[in-house]
Amino acid sequence: MIITATEYEDNLADFLSAGLPDDAEVAVADDCATLLEHSGPGDTVVISEGFEPDKERLVNVIHALRLNDVRVVVITPSMDGLAESVLNMGVWDIIPHVRDGSEILDVLEHPRTYAQALKLVPQNKKTLGPVLREPVRLVQAEPLVCAFTRAGGAGKSTAIAYLATALLKYGLKPAIVDLDEDKPSVAKIFGINSKEGIDSLRIQELRGDLSLIRDTLSRVRIPLKNGITVYPANGDTLPFEEEGDVYSMYAALQQEHPVVLADLTVRFNDLATLATIRRANKVLFITEQYQPTLDSCVRHVEEARSVGVDTGKYILVVNKYTEKSRITVRKIEDCLGMKAAVILPMNAEKYRNEVDSHNPVSGTDEWLKLGALIANTDYQPGSRKKKGFSLRLFGRRKK
């Protein structure tokens, strides 16, 4: 059995442990991700409405549990539309409040006891399956993604900006870390003119204390109206003395954001750039049909492998594609030894107008395809925002 973390979690867990058979395990889940990760067919989950304030998300979580053949008991003091929704999914029972846990033990022996007493369902009504709701897509994105190229002007900052807006359509609200002092930066694309950036902080002095680092980063955090959060940099001296400082920054950011996107400088040996590429789960490797750019990318692949960087996590993006170029996509793939995941067509006027208006819009299928790769979800041409949430696996289990 798994119960969700509430103000009475300890007493309730102990009570249930004492009242259940000796071989029964009672665990406590502190968040939705842990709850979904550690529950499976045949398990029983006791979930409180107060565990997840967003009722729509709570219903999605309960639905996902039912799809996985988990018995669900819901504790909810509000007998509104939520009660009807979860009952139609076939939950074990609904309990208006819990005093000492005996109600839960009663329900496990006699399902629908409270629902029938509250006249929410007829005495003879059969349990309905979860077919009344469409399947819920649980989006688990790559936690850290960066964009890199050895050539200026290849579209690295633009790719990060458009990828961020594409991820919004998959239900993810990304954070962008702007570590590229070259202009125009990703912050400028969104029309951000900040007086203070990451370069003004002293992260290297916080000795890996993630709580302090998170609080320090909040000083420069800029939340946009569309759900994207930007952490800008205004200078070329970043607050890192060693790779561990960079790793600590990302660890702190990942506690708050389901996915972090990093816009990097073109200098591979730069401390922040190299550390980010080493730590990143995916690297958008951007090139174009221009021989000097392709040559520099080839040299980078050789250099990256020589210092132990895993180029298998690179996602090759061919930017500014045109059929008129003599450098074909096949040639680029052969030179770099990797297949192009996304080919972005040349559309300079569209990008220029959107960037000038500080309104990058990832409405084209290629950007949505790239977003689907990062979100680890199904790509659907012209798809709109999908219901779902990021899974971050942390919490505690308890005997």
Q: Return the structure tokens found at 259.
A: 């996915």
CATH architecture observed for domain 2-132 = 3-Layer(aba) Sandwich (3.40)
pLDDT at residue 185, as a whole number? 72
pLDDT at residue 279, as a whole number? 92
| Residue 173 near residue 385 (C-beta atoms within 8 A) | no
- Specify the domain boundaries for CATH 3.40.50.2300 within the chain: 2-132
- Mapped onto helix, strand or coil, the DSSP state of residue 287 is strand
pLDDT at residue 358, as a whole number? 57
Q: Look-up: residue for tokens 């940099």?
A: 233
Quick one: how far is CA 23 from the chain centroid? Answer: 36
pLDDT at residue 260, as a whole number? 94
| Residue 9 near residue 3 (C-beta atoms within 8 A) | yes
Q: Model-level pTM?
A: 0.62
Q: Give the residue ranges of the chain where pLDDT is below 50.
A: 7, 122-138, 383-399
Domain 144-375 - what CATH class?
alpha beta
pLDDT at residue 339, as a whole number? 94
Distinct helix (H) and strand (E) counts, the chain: 15, 13
pLDDT at residue 144, as a whole number? 93
pLDDT digits (tens, 9 = 90+) for 242-265: 888 889 899 889 888 889 999 998
- Specify the domain boundaries for CATH 3.40.50.300 within the chain: 144-375
| Residue 284 near residue 147 (C-beta atoms within 8 A) | yes
Rg (alpha carbons) of the chain, rounded to whole number: 25
Burial (CB < 10 A; 0-12, 13-18, 19+), residue 367, is buried
- Mapped onto helix, strand or coil, the DSSP state of residue 316 is strand
pLDDT at residue 322, as a whole number? 87
Query: What letter does residue 336 receive in the DSSP assignment?
Result: H
pLDDT at residue 118, as a whole number? 58
| Those residues with Cβ within 8 angstroms of residue 138's Cβ, 6 or more apart along the chain or in another chain | 36, 64, 388, 389, 391
Burial (CB < 10 A; 0-12, 13-18, 19+), residue 243, is middle
pLDDT at residue 127, as a whole number? 39
- For the chain, the maximum distance between any two Cα atoms, rounded to a whole number of angstroms, is 76
